[in-house]
């Protein structure tokens, strides 16, 4: 077990090095430089551009730039091109903003997808099954921002609540209850919208897993023993159907960065996805690179956790 974990971590560290090299070269080889973001600015003279290039080591060869980046990242000295703030601080602040959104939408996904999927599988070909199947396909197929706009109009017109941003401006001195309600309202819609796609996919998965398990021999045995239907379904069926979802859980962690660009832009949510988007617009290479690096770490961490959990949960798997 320990050996397995150590070997896995070692492999992932090697992968990580390659990932950072590839992303570094992609970003630096693509046309467009931080110094050229604003080419029509009359105040930018040729010598200014030269000074900027020198300050950010942009004149060095690529591999030297890479070494600079790694050195700065690990000493915490890495500065954003755009505003000279330390990159790690910036990302950490945005991470704290993204986290509640991520947690709430994960909770919505997992608490809704399972009942829906299980019920659809148990009543196969019923009206509920057909409707939920169709709905989940429809929810996967709708462009996210289109749905977001429809829901924003609906929420604002029906409930008259604030939905854009993280909090209402000017409520800093309000009583705690009012303030927290405000936060909850702001959180609801973005979390729901980011949950929609995941929910549709996950409920389909739950359904097909349950369907597979339902016809297994041990289910028939459990019924033949005279166990109650609830016990058969939830003790014998669901526990076995749950196994693949341990993997799924690990794989959702990187959603913290990648999936949120659009929704954070719509809802003006100052999270990591938007940080990345703004960095791309400003050609802020250190921020882009570090964000990519972190999301790769999250992916690798997620797969590592799911591998380990799988081994813990399923006695049939030996390392």
Q: Is 175 in the site for another protein (CB under 8 A)?
A: no
Q: Which residues does 106 contact at the CB level (< 8 Å), separation at least 6?
A: 195, 252
Span interacting with another protein, options 48-56, 67-75, 175-183, 283-291, rule CB under 8 A: 283-291
Q: What number of chain residues touch another protein (CB under 8 A)?
A: 42
Q: Is 257 in the site for another protein (CB under 8 A)?
A: yes
Full DSSP string of 82-151? TT--BHHHHHHHHHHHHHHHHHHHHHHHHHHHHHHHHHHHHTTTSHHHHHHHHHHHHHHHS-HHHHHHHH
Full DSSP string of 232-258? IIIIIIIHHHTHHHHHHHHHHGGGGTG
Tell me if 200 sits within 8 A of 137, measured CB to CB. Answer: yes
> Which one among 190, 292, 306, 307 touches another protein, defined by CB under 8 A?
292
Q: Is 273 in the site for another protein (CB under 8 A)?
A: yes
The whole-angstrom distance between residue 198's C-alpha and the CA centroid of its chain comes to 10
- Per the listing, tokens 């159907």 go with 241
Q: Is 7 in the site for another protein (CB under 8 A)?
A: no
Closest approach of another protein to the CB of residue 279, in Å: 9
* Helices and strands per DSSP (H, E), number in the chain: 14, 0
Nearer to another protein, 216 or 231 (CB): 216
Q: Is 52 in the site for another protein (CB under 8 A)?
A: no
Tell me if 23 sits within 8 A of 279, measured CB to CB. Answer: no
Q: Is 315 in the site for another protein (CB under 8 A)?
A: no
The residues in 179-198 that bind another protein, with binding defined as CB under 8 A, are: none
**216 DSSP assignment:** S
Closest approach of another protein to the CB of residue 63, in Å: 19
Closest approach of another protein to the CB of residue 188, in Å: 21
> Which one among 288, 290, 306, 307 touches another protein, defined by CB under 8 A?
288
Q: Is 275 in the site for another protein (CB under 8 A)?
A: no
Closest approach of another protein to the CB of residue 225, in Å: 28
CA distance 199 to 218: 29
Q: Is 30 in the site for another protein (CB under 8 A)?
A: yes
- Per the listing, tokens 């590592």 go with 304
Nearer to another protein, 73 or 140 (CB): 140
Q: Is 26 in the site for another protein (CB under 8 A)?
A: yes
Name the burial class of residue 159, with classes exposed (0-12), middle (13-18) and buried (19+) by CB atoms within 10 angstroms of its CB: exposed
Q: Is 15 in the site for another protein (CB under 8 A)?
A: yes
Q: Is 19 in the site for another protein (CB under 8 A)?
A: yes
Q: What residues make contact with another protein under the rule CB under 8 A?
A: 15, 18-19, 22-23, 26-27, 30-32, 134, 137-138, 140-146, 149, 153, 254, 257-259, 261-262, 265, 273, 276-277, 280-281, 283, 288, 291-292, 295-296, 299-300
């Amino acid at each position: 077990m320990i050996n397995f974990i150590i070997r896995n971590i070692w492999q992932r560290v090697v992968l990580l090095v390659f990932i950072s090299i590839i992303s570094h070269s992609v970003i630096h080889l693509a046309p467009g430089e931080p110094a050229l973001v604003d080419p029509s600015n009359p105040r930018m003279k040729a010598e200014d551009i030269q000074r900027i290039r020198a300050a950010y080591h942009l004149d060095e060869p690529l591999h030297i730039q890479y070494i600079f980046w790694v050195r700065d990242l690990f000493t915490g000295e890495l500065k954003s091109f755009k505003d000279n703030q330390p990159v790690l601080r910036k990302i950490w602040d945005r991470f704290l903003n993204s986290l509640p959104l991520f947690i709430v939408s994960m909770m919505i996904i997992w608490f809704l997808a399972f009942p829906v999927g299980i019920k659809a599988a148990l009543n196969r070909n019923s009206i509920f099954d057909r409707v939920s199947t169709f709905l989940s396909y429809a929810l996967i197929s709708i462009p996210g921002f289109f749905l977001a706009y429809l829901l924003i109009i609906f929420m604002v017109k029906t409930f008259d609540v604030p939905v854009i941003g993280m909090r209402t401006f000017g409520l800093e001195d309000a009583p705690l209850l009012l303030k927290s309600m405000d936060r909850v309202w702001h959180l609801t819609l973005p979390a729901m919208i980011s949950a929609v796609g995941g929910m549709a996919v996950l409920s389909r998965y739950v359904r097909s897993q349950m369907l597979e398990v339902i016809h297994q021999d041990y289910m028939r045995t459990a019924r033949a023993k005279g166990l109650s239907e609830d016990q058969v379904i939830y003790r014998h069926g669901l526990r076995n159907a749950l196994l693949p979802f341990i993997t799924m859980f690990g794989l959702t962690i990187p959603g913290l960065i990648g999936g949120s660009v659009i929704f954070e832009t719509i809802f003006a949510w100052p999270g990591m996805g938007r940080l990345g988007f703004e960095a791309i617009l400003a050609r802020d290479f250190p921020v882009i690179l570090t964000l990519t690096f972190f999301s790769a770490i999250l992916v690798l961490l997620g797969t590592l956790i799911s591998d380990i959990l799988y081994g813990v949960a399923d006695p049939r798997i030996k390392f």
